[in-house]
Structure 1
Amino acid sequence: MSEEEDFNAIPVMDRMVHKNWKARQSAYEELKDKFTTSPSESDPIFAPFLDNPGLYKKIVGDTNVVAQDQGIQSLAAFLQFGGTQACLRTRSSVVPILAEKGLASARAGTKAASTESLLWYIELDVPDPVVEDVVALLGHRTPKVIAANLKCLVDMVAAFGKTIDPKPVFKALPKLLSHADKNVRAEAMNFIVEVQKWHGRPLMDAVLPGWNLKPVQQKELDEKFAANAAAGKPTQPRLLRSQQQVLSTATANGIESDEMDVDNGGDEEESDPLALVEAKDVLSQVPANFYTEVTSAKWKERKEGLEAVLPVLQSGGPKLQEGDYGELLRAMAKVVHKDANVQCVQVAAQCIETVANGLPANAFARYRFTLQAVLERTKEKKASVAEALSKALDAIASKLPFSEVVEDTLPFISHKTPQVRIESLNFILRLLSTIKEYPSDQDLDQVIKAVLKTLSDTQAPVREISMQVLGTARKLIGERAFEQHFKGVDDIRKNKIVEYYDKATVVAKPKAKPAPKPAARAPPPSASATASNKRPSVATPGQRKLVRPGGGVIRKPFTGSNGGPSSGFGSTESKPVQSSGYGQSSGYGQTRTGLMKQPLKKIPASPSIDSFGPAASSADIEELEELRAAKETWVKEKETLMAAFEAEKQKFAAEKQRLLDEINSLQHSKADILEQHTKDAVSFKSKETQFSRMQGDLQAAYKRISELESAAASQPVKQEPREMSPSVDAEASFRELSLGGEATERAGENRRMSRDFSGGSNSSREFKPSHGGTGGSRDFGGSRDFGLGNGTRDYSGGSGFGARESSVARALSPDRRDSYRPQAQESWQRAAEVTNQLKARIEAMKARQKMY
């Protein structure tokens, strides 16, 4: 007890830094009581902590858990009664240590006081700084700290609703949902459920697919989402200080609190589910070689390039960062429109769909060209490709105005390809069924008139889908408004349209017509009018003010006993009478009274001259005539202008129709040109293949010629006895050069054998072997064979060519030898000429080869 008295005797500021935890605890308790009983936010008790914000940083981080508990409770009281200045001066230094030490405490009271303090920090200013410090601890190494901060975030959303931005937490949630600690996973699931309760299911449908939830987690979330939907729309239980000021001001002005929307809790349908999703940059991640691969001549390279880009675009999630996607989408549109490989078309359509879904409408509006490219390719009948194209069309249409979509789509319902007509009508059918904003009557009328023309199409599927579109359009605009379009439609088709009308479902609702404004109150009479009304009406007829024709206010005529001109209007005040629109009194002297006696068929455009009675002067009549003439002039001018306007309108309509027809014609011509281009490309490819094959054959021929030249050059010129037979040897030489090496050798052997085994007649030679000695002998007989006689020549050993040549030369007589020389020389000259001719031909062939 004595120690406690000693602690109480110590000043509070000294006890706060005392080494004994009980002294610190007593100081914290005393501070809490003083804060609670302070008369205002400017009380001196708050000054030390406002001047030195680090004091509460030490208090919150007290090493003793009991003292820490009391210190955090005193912090909550300090914030509650200290006001905005207490929050702003201490927030940056206290919140991080409070989130790490206080929320993760083992004491329940410390956790509750820490959460309450953080909620006060949010209420007194804005939530973002506090949420940022708490989210920073979601990557802490201790699971207990992570779970405690997640639970605090759940309490923040539950207390302040939509004022808490969940985007910073969304970045960490995928990792937390797969955390090893079950408490962390449970708190992450609770946070998702709490956010869904405030922001609706569309937000969760947008972000959950990218978090890779387990089936068990998805099932649990679906159950809790259903429970939130059944509970109805929540209301914000705790208001920010700024919201409280707005509410108090409104209450002071007599506005009910129920009429105030201080929690920003709009309907789920009106909020953008992607507003809270973080946009991701994917353009910088597109491979550098994509634009090279997508224009490659090989379809496999194009497909690989597209398949490399698709995961990059899909990694951006439901919201892509805005940027210049023009080059990327133009490359995709070109593939969809012109690529001959359907696999490339399918992947490109998926890329277009991903970009369209990820970009906001205002950012995607400039990429309208993708719509026509996809519509042109709807001729594909393969199921997977057709599905990809349909999804791309729906994604594009969701980001473009209805009028632009209709303008680009309607020309395709009259396309020359039946499949394109079918898919275009299917697209319009989906568009009318799912559009959320009611389109303009002009756009709907344009669609209906264009689709009515397809009811007589040659293809039955086209006619059937056309009737479905018309039935859906009838559901959209209503039965009465659609009746005018039934003119010229036969009963069978009309019944089918009505049948589809009964089955059709639409989302858009016609805009409610504004309630008629109440009739404007008559303006109070001006001072001059009041003064004139109070004066006795003794003015002469010449001083009377003329009422313009068609005016809504007239004065009641004076009906006295003396109705002459001198009587005037009498001395009674005349009151203005509101024109009723039917049976208005036309002037003086009329005796009809009562509504039932007034004419109902026609309202006079202007009062007649007689309606002014005898009080009307000639000046008034002239003024009236001038006004009537001016009116007639204006009416004629109006009619002239309207006629000119109608003529220009018809002219513009005809010009528009002509341009549309020209566009259709050009599109058909373009399709024909593309088809012809494809055929030409195939033909060119075939010719190119033939040319390559012929070029290969030519190279082989050149190679063979070179081999023959080498073989001819490598064989030596042999001096054989056949040189003495000019006619035979010249022809043999020609054959040798023409046939090549092997043929030359065979021809040479044949000639030698014919010479060796010939007889002794004029046309043959005889070979007579000798039986003596080591050699042999040959007789060359006959006058034709070199003029040899019966002489013989023995070959002493060997049978070489040189021996035979020398023996033949010795066997010739001088006369025969001299007679043979001119013939041999002539034969050799002929052979040389043939050789030169062959060489010239070879050189010419080489020259042609160099030209290629």
Structure 2
Amino acid sequence: MDNATDDSASFQTLSLDERLVHKLWKARQHGYNELESTFNKLSVARVAESGVNKYWKKPEIFTGYVLDSNVVAQESAVKALYSLLKFMIDVPQIRDLCQPGQLVQGWVPALVEKGMTSSKSATKEASLACVSLVVSLDDNIVNAINCLTPIWTKKLPKLLTAALMVHVKLIEQFGFVNVSQQEKMQSLQGLVEVLPKLCSHADKSVRNESMQLILQLYTWFNKPVLQELLLGKLKPIQQKDLDKLFESYQGTIPPSSTPSQFIWAVPAQSDNNSTDLPLDHDGDLAMAGNNGQSAAALDNQSIDPYDMFPVQTILDKLPNNFYQSLASSKWKDRVEALEEFHDQTLTKVKKLSASNEDHSEIIHKFCSTITSDANLQAVQISTSSLDILISALRSEYNPFALETLNALLTRSKEKKPNVADSIFNALLNLSKYYKLELCLESVLQHMKNKVPQVKIVCSKFLFELLSNWTPTETLHRTSVFSNLPAILNSLQPIVNDNQQATRNEGFKCIAILIKIFDERELSTYLDKLDNLKRKKILELVDKVEIKAATVPPPHQTQPQTQLRSAAPVVRSQPLSSTIPSKRLATSPLKPARNSALNGNTKSSRLTSRSLTTHQMMNHTDLPSSTQPKSNTSSNTSLSGNFTPQTNISNRMSHLNDEVNKLRQERQEWLRERNDLLSNLNQSNLQLSKVNKLLNESETYVSNLQRQLQDSKDQLNAKNLKIKELESKLTGGTSDTMSTDSPISSSISRGRLTATTLSPLRSTKNATTPQRVRSPSESSDDLPRRVNSLNLNNHMLQEESWKRAAEVTNQLKARIERMRAKSRSGFNNLGVD
């Protein structure tokens, strides 16, 4: 106890600077407490005399205090820093006296790494408060976000949680105010790179704070931006939880105001009009940023995710023999090559640059495939690939735009829904970067095509181009206005087409031209049309909508509506499918609008009854003053035909659906038939091979049988010779040999064969001449040799017969197996 008292007495007598660096934590704590008391009592008017400015001119001094190894002393150091920051905020022109960026970079990492990870809750709270105060001295929160970037590589959960908590607090309190577009993109890009990993962290606190940080980013950047950069990388359950958080947010995007403001923005909220800060055009305080722009102007800038994507390459990822496969005569080779490149490479591409790679060859191959390939799957994949390249290159795609436009318009004759939709979507995407003035000539040229489908697509595409057109000068000076006669001449055959769907698209194009250039500019053309067509066009003028801002003509002061009936403005719907799944019933008193790309009507195939009704419908569309008086009775009875006409329309729609289904089934049957024919050809080829092998086997068996017969004949001839020799031998030796001689007894029994005396007795030595022994030579051994030769001859005969029988059985079994195999092959193919 006495030692503690002595130590306390010893460091209390030391100076403040000595206590702040003393080895005893109590001495350091004593010094930190004295600093806190001093900062609380400092006079704002005597800042220069107090010498306190050394702490903000040398931020590393307090950085060392905050990093104190003793948790008790550290708490006192953080509280002393908090008192210093509150004093600094009250000092006039404090931002001119210090360098806020250096303070943020020096103090914020120390407060987060040591203060907010402390085991004492008071230290955590004081550290977070210090971070908010020191950031309020800066221009924006960008420096604070950047200086905390190294923490994302750490593995300590409580450190990651602290860093995430600071980000949430800063964005919630200050937001991205006074931040340039480039700084926003850099800050957002750094966060979205680490958040997917943090959202899947093993620690629950890290996951929760990550979700809260994404919510704060949502309040400033909105969901579409985050969807491209971040949300798509998260798990489905995480996306579902985030959707709930997004729905719970009730504020504006970006927030109209923040709970707390920077020091440089505080005077804007006060009622003191003596401020020297500049005012904006509304008389409000202008919050100037680093680059001289107002903070309001910087905040209203939206971020394009495309600018944040890294530039990628694709040509180095082409599949092996890609171009050779595209030139193959087999459609499977072409489709597999296109599909592999599309799925494994192009679908992952967000941004490309023409300065890094030359894409001319690959784009030319895709366009060639679209134009000339007979396989629709190859056409669709090529179209989708070009669509991705257009989005990835944007304005850099313009050198290839004309070739792509011509290829897409040429192949727009396809009626298959997925192919037609893919082509039209690629056209719309191309029009975002290849403007109307550049597309116009090619579109007008393809509008002369005789295929109805191409006319419809070109008309729809021209309508979209006009509705999104933003002229850069006065309307009457634009190239579109100068080409207005050519546009009307190209639309003339479409307006007069015998198919209603084609005519409707022409009407819409003329209506939007009237909307843009005014009715008087097209009055000469309208006078050439009949009353019914002119009426339909004028009705559409108020329904079509110009999506982009246009420059009004000089003479137009107010919209002319004398000849138009009032109608609400309705946005034209984009293409959804080239073949409608179901066509709704239409009234005979009102012309129907077909929104489908392939709206080919079947008026030419209607019965005489439907044709009559159609004529009545057209007749009733005329103004009452132009109708003949003699038709009044028919007009009165028209209402009675409304229900049958509706039923006929419904029935025709149902029949059209059935026809389409039958066509699809026919295509499937034709494909199955081709497959069966291919299998049948292969089976016939295998059958011919089997028959050939069977013939060869039969020939081989007949040869063996012939050889066997020859062997039998030779054996019989040898047996005859043996008998002759036996008879001769019997006659020649009867005088000299006794009846009881072994030789005579052997001969009498018929055991002496030709092989024993003839030079042909051995088949192995048939070519070697042998001397015939006389009966006098080795007469004692003659009976034994004769018996042995007879035994060998019988054994050879039996062995030859067995071998021949075995070979014959094997051949028969093999022939039976081949016949059974061929019969099973026929059964599988359905052949009897």
TM-score (norm: length of structure 1): 0.53
Partner of 1:502: 542
Partner of 1:278: 309
Partner of 1:103: 116
Q: Retained in 2: the 8 A contact 1:15–1:23?
A: yes
Instruction: Determine the C-alpha separation between the residues in 2 that align with 1:400 and 1:70.
Output: 65
Q: Does 1:443 align with 2:465?
A: no
Instruction: Determine the C-alpha separation between the residues in 2 that align with 1:425 and 1:433.
Output: 12
Q: Retained in 1: the 8 A contact 2:369–2:379?
A: yes
Which residue identity does 2:341 align to in structure 1?
V
- Which of 339, 342, 346 is residue 307 of structure 1 equivalent to? 339
Partner of 2:199: 177
Seen in structure 2, the aligned counterparts of structure 1 residues 432 and 513 have a Cα distance that, compared at 3 Å, is closer
Partner of 2:229: 207
Instruction: Determine the C-alpha separation between the residues in 1 that align with 2:275 and 2:554.
Output: 33
Q: Retained in 1: the 8 A contact 2:468–2:547?
A: yes
| CA deviation after TM superposition for structure 1 residue 37, in Å | 4.5
| CA deviation after TM superposition for structure 1 residue 150, in Å | 1.9
| CA deviation after TM superposition for structure 1 residue 480, in Å | 5.7
Q: Percent identity?
A: 23
Partner of 1:161: 176
| CA deviation after TM superposition for structure 1 residue 478, in Å | 4.9
Partner of 2:217: 195
Which residue identity does 1:400 align to in structure 2?
Y
5+ residue gaps, structure 2: 269-273, 556-677, 708-723, 729-752, 755-832
Which residue identity does 1:174 align to in structure 2?
P
Partner of 2:746: none
Partner of 1:552: none
- Which of 405, 409, 412 is residue 439 of structure 2 equivalent to? 405
Seen in structure 2, the aligned counterparts of structure 1 residues 268 and 25 have a Cα distance that, compared at 3 Å, is closer
Q: Does 1:384 align with 2:398?
A: no
Q: Does 1:251 align with 2:278?
A: yes
Seen in structure 2, the aligned counterparts of structure 1 residues 222 and 451 have a Cα distance that, compared at 3 Å, is farther
Counterparts of 1:207-606 in structure 2, within 5 Å, are: 207-208=229-230, 210-212=232-234, 213-214=236-237, 215-224=239-248, 227-229=251-253, 237-238=261-262, 251=278, 256-258=283-285, 264-266=295-297, 271-274=302-305, 277-283=308-314, 284-287=316-319, 289-313=321-345, 316=348, 318-320=350-352, 323-324=356-357, 325-362=359-396, 367-434=401-468, 440=475, 441-443=478-480, 446=483, 448-449=487-488, 450-478=490-518, 483=523, 485-511=525-551
Provide the secondary structure at the position in 2 that maps to 1:271: coil
Instruction: Determine the C-alpha separation between the residues in 1 that align with 2:307 and 2:137.
Output: 21
Seen in structure 2, the aligned counterparts of structure 1 residues 86 and 482 have a Cα distance that, compared at 3 Å, is same
Instruction: Determine the C-alpha separation between the residues in 2 that align with 1:112 and 1:444.
Output: 68
Q: Does 1:113 align with 2:135?
A: no
Seen in structure 2, the aligned counterparts of structure 1 residues 428 and 256 have a Cα distance that, compared at 3 Å, is same
Instruction: Determine the C-alpha separation between the residues in 2 that align with 1:268 and 1:330.
Output: 43
Partner of 1:632: none
Partner of 2:25: 21
Instruction: Determine the C-alpha separation between the residues in 2 that align with 1:202 and 1:104.
Output: 35
| CA deviation after TM superposition for structure 1 residue 455, in Å | 1.1
Q: Retained in 2: the 8 A contact 1:135–1:149?
A: no
Which residue identity does 2:110 align to in structure 1?
I
Seen in structure 2, the aligned counterparts of structure 1 residues 252 and 345 have a Cα distance that, compared at 3 Å, is closer
Between stretches 348-357 and 31-40, larger displacement belongs to 31-40
Seen in structure 2, the aligned counterparts of structure 1 residues 54 and 358 have a Cα distance that, compared at 3 Å, is same
Provide the secondary structure at the position in 1 that maps to 2:542: helix
Partner of 1:72: 78
Between stretches 361-370 and 11-20, larger displacement belongs to 361-370
Q: Retained in 2: the 8 A contact 1:467–1:497?
A: yes
Seen in structure 2, the aligned counterparts of structure 1 residues 101 and 146 have a Cα distance that, compared at 3 Å, is same
| CA deviation after TM superposition for structure 1 residue 393, in Å | 1.3
| CA deviation after TM superposition for structure 1 residue 169, in Å | 0.5
How far does the alpha carbon of each residue in 1:26-48 deviate from its partner, in whole angstroms, 9 at most, with x for none?
Answer: 32343355566474579744447
| CA deviation after TM superposition for structure 1 residue 272, in Å | 4.3
Seen in structure 2, the aligned counterparts of structure 1 residues 46 and 386 have a Cα distance that, compared at 3 Å, is same
Seen in structure 2, the aligned counterparts of structure 1 residues 119 and 309 have a Cα distance that, compared at 3 Å, is farther
How far does the alpha carbon of each residue in 1:213-234 deviate from its partner, in whole angstroms, 9 at most, with x for none?
Answer: 5352353254146643597577
Provide the secondary structure at the position in 2 that maps to 1:257: coil
Provide the secondary structure at the position in 1 that maps to 2:483: helix
Instruction: Determine the C-alpha separation between the residues in 1 that align with 2:554 and 2:130.
Output: 49
Q: Retained in 2: the 8 A contact 1:124–1:241?
A: no
- Which of 137, 140, 156 is residue 154 of structure 2 equivalent to? 140
Partner of 1:131: 145
Partner of 1:59: 65
Provide the secondary structure at the position in 2 that maps to 1:508: coil
Which residue identity does 1:19 align to in structure 2?
K
| CA deviation after TM superposition for structure 1 residue 127, in Å | 4.5
Instruction: Determine the C-alpha separation between the residues in 2 that align with 1:41 and 1:368.
Output: 71
Q: Retained in 2: the 8 A contact 1:166–1:276?
A: no
| CA deviation after TM superposition for structure 1 residue 168, in Å | 0.9
Seen in structure 2, the aligned counterparts of structure 1 residues 774 and 175 have a Cα distance that, compared at 3 Å, is same
Q: Retained in 1: the 8 A contact 2:390–2:397?
A: no
Seen in structure 2, the aligned counterparts of structure 1 residues 152 and 492 have a Cα distance that, compared at 3 Å, is same
Which residue identity does 2:166 align to in structure 1?
C
How far does the alpha carbon of each residue in 1:110-140 deviate from its partner, in whole angstroms, 9 at most, with x for none?
Answer: 3453454366357436654432232332343
How far does the alpha carbon of each residue in 1:591-639 deviate from its partner, in whole angstroms, 9 at most, with x for none?
Answer: xxxxxxxxxxxxxxxxxxxxxxxxxxxxxxxxxxxxxxxxxxxxxxxxx
How far does the alpha carbon of each residue in 1:707-736 deviate from its partner, in whole angstroms, 9 at most, with x for none?
Answer: 9xxx9xxxxxxxxxxxxxxxxxxxxxxxxx
Counterparts of 1:660-679 in structure 2, within 5 Å, are: none
Which residue identity does 2:240 align to in structure 1?
V
Instruction: Determine the C-alpha separation between the residues in 2 that align with 1:90 and 1:15.
Output: 24
Partner of 1:586: none
Partner of 1:149: 163
Provide the secondary structure at the position in 2 that maps to 1:414: coil
Instruction: Determine the C-alpha separation between the residues in 1 that align with 2:147 and 2:540.
Output: 58
How far does the alpha carbon of each residue in 1:720-768 deviate from its partner, in whole angstroms, 9 at most, with x for none?
Answer: xxxxxxxxxxxxxxxxxxxxx99x99xxxxxxxxxxxxxxxxxxxxxxx
Which residue identity does 1:309 align to in structure 2?
F
Seen in structure 2, the aligned counterparts of structure 1 residues 248 and 774 have a Cα distance that, compared at 3 Å, is farther
TM-score (norm: length of structure 2): 0.55
Instruction: Determine the C-alpha separation between the residues in 2 that align with 1:249 and 1:355.
Output: 53
Seen in structure 2, the aligned counterparts of structure 1 residues 307 and 275 have a Cα distance that, compared at 3 Å, is closer
Seen in structure 2, the aligned counterparts of structure 1 residues 338 and 83 have a Cα distance that, compared at 3 Å, is same
Instruction: Determine the C-alpha separation between the residues in 2 that align with 1:340 and 1:12.
Output: 90
5+ residue gaps, structure 1: 516-688, 712-740, 746-770, 776-796, 799-852
Q: Retained in 2: the 8 A contact 1:161–1:236?
A: no
Which has the higher Rg, Structure 1 or Structure 2? 1
Seen in structure 2, the aligned counterparts of structure 1 residues 505 and 280 have a Cα distance that, compared at 3 Å, is same
Seen in structure 2, the aligned counterparts of structure 1 residues 304 and 28 have a Cα distance that, compared at 3 Å, is farther
Aligned Cα root-mean-square deviation (Å) = 5.1
| CA deviation after TM superposition for structure 1 residue 351, in Å | 1.7
| CA deviation after TM superposition for structure 1 residue 395, in Å | 1.3
- The number of equivalent residue pairs is 543
Instruction: Determine the C-alpha separation between the residues in 1 that align with 2:379 and 2:431.
Output: 19
